[in-house]
Amino acid sequence: QVQLVESGGGLVQPGGSLKLSCTASGITFEVYTMGWYRQAPGKQRELVAAITEGLTTNYVDSVKGRFTISRDNAEKTVYLQMNSLNPEDTAVYYCNARWVVSSSWTYDYWGQGTQVTVSS
């Protein structure tokens, strides 16, 4: 019954902004590290940003200073605010939820992905 639903993708001009949302259901959201990954055409999937239950964040170097990840545990939602977008940001963006319960088990869930296209 676990579901991650992304929204907010679309077409934006270079230099523009976009905010992605991912709402989870069926999990104890507050214990999960939440992340955004992306996969551009012809490229491997990469971690864009992540935020832990303790609100520690990390970003891939290419988006530092431009993207901000945040979470609202009450709404079971993680956000990715994307500013100063450029064509290299074009990709399918995936929401991820991960909980390392123990050395014997990790919960790892993915959304369906949302397309972000940066073009003039």
Sign of CA dihedral 68, 59, 108, 5: positive
**pLDDT for res 67:** 98
**pLDDT for res 27:** 94
For residues 3 and 22, the answer to whether their CB atoms sit within 8 Å is: no
Q: Output the CA–CA distances (angstroms, integers) from residue 50 to 15, 79, 96, 97, 119, in the order listed.
A: 23, 10, 9, 10, 26
Nearest to 93 by CA among 17, 9, 16: 9
**pLDDT for res 78:** 98
3-class SS at 86?
Answer: coil
pLDDT digits 0-9 by tens, 20-64: 999 999 999 999 999 999 999 999 999 999 999 999 999 999 999
Q: pLDDT band for 16, please (50, 70, 90 cuts).
A: very high
Tell me, what DSSP letter sits at residue 84? Answer: S
